[in-house]
Amino acid sequence: MAKNKNLDLLKLISDERATAKIVIEGEREVIAGFYIGDTFNVGGSTSWESPFENILGASRALTNMWNSIMFAISKATQLPIARELLGVKRGVSQAFVGNPEVTTAFWQGPSRPTFDITLLFIALKKNQDVRNDVLRLMRCVYPEQWRAGGWLGVAWVAPLGYTGIAEQGTVTLQIGRWFRATNLLVSKADASFSRVTITGIGTPLCATVSLSLTPHQVIDINTLKGYFIGAGVNIPTPERKIEAGPPPKATELPEGGD
């Protein structure tokens, strides 16, 4: 387990904001540890593509032909007589030939964010075993084996019995009193145990678990906003951006008809 020179144990224990909790939905089991790390990163990504640029090869073929001609001219202008005949003093730059509309990007959809966090567990009491905290978190990534019997053999049940429904097999991540994300899946859990053990017992004094979590479904900006407890920023929706003008006056209606 890597040492953190900036880790003040007494300050960490007394600071409620330094705690983080993993709550297993459906069971309401709470696994609380100390959040260590200088920052907690929240990012996002989305996908853009230009489908017409890939489907239509005319622009690419025309570009290759144009650049082949330009290359030939550039090679020819190395000879003085060719420069005089072509009226070109130096080589001609290559270029892309095509309609810019073909390169228009189309939105392909969002991607789910990943939240990475490292939790520290310390045996503050002699009868506290940090291995239990680690194993409780490992349940989030390890399946359970179910013996069906007969020719069915063995079936593997998804971690935490995940069914695809948010309330079964997902977890909630809460950091201090400012961040709380629900309906998450744990994609990775790496544990490290201290070499130092508890005197007379022999179990590790502390352990860290690095977790990677992601929403079980794609989220929108308002869901992300809800993760930040008490954040009051007003995020406009497309519906709010559309402003209908006043209805036309009777005198502006076209004449004619009965």
pLDDT tens series, the chain, 258 aa: 544 544 555 555 555 556 899 999 888 789 999 988 888 899 889 988 887 766 555 566 666 776 677 666 666 655 555 545 555 555 556 565 556 777 788 898 889 999 999 999 999 888 889 999 999 999 999 998 876 666 666 788 999 999 888 778 999 999 988 999 999 999 999 999 999 998 888 999 999 999 999 999 999 999 999 999 988 777 666 655 545 556 555 544 444 444
Task: Give the C-alpha separation, 170 to 149, whole Å.
Answer: 28
Q: Give yes or no: residues 63 and 128 share one domain.
A: no
User: CA dist 176 to 39, 78, 186, 188, 214, Å?
Assistant: 13, 70, 19, 22, 19
Q: Give yes or no: residues 233 and 154 share one domain.
A: yes
Q: Give yes or no: residues 97 and 122 share one domain.
A: no
- Whether pTM exceeds 0.75: no
Q: Is residue 53 part of a domain?
A: yes
Among residues 192, 203, 214, the alpha carbon closest in space to that of 111 is found at 214
Q: Give yes or no: residues 38 and 55 share one domain.
A: no
Q: Is residue 202 part of a domain?
A: yes
Q: Give yes or no: residues 28 and 124 share one domain.
A: yes
Q: Is residue 38 part of a domain?
A: yes
Q: Is residue 258 part of a domain?
A: no
Q: For the chain, how many residues are written?
A: 258
The 3-state DSSP composition of the chain as helix, strand, coil percent (nearest 5) reads: 30, 30, 45
Q: Give yes or no: residues 93 and 171 share one domain.
A: no
Task: Give the C-alpha separation, 54 to 60, whole Å.
Answer: 9
Q: Give yes or no: residues 207 and 221 share one domain.
A: yes
Give residue 203's Cα distance to chain centre.
36
Residue 140: exposure state from Cβ atoms within 10 A (0-12, 13-18, ≥19): buried
Q: Give yes or no: residues 38 and 51 share one domain.
A: no
Q: Give yes or no: residues 117 and 175 share one domain.
A: yes
Per the structure, the count of domains in the chain is: 2
Q: Is residue 255 part of a domain?
A: no
Torsion of CA 105, 106, 112, 114, to 10 degrees: 0
Among residues 166, 168, 165, the alpha carbon closest in space to that of 181 is found at 166
Q: Which domain covers residue 122, as residue numbers?
A: 9-45+113-241
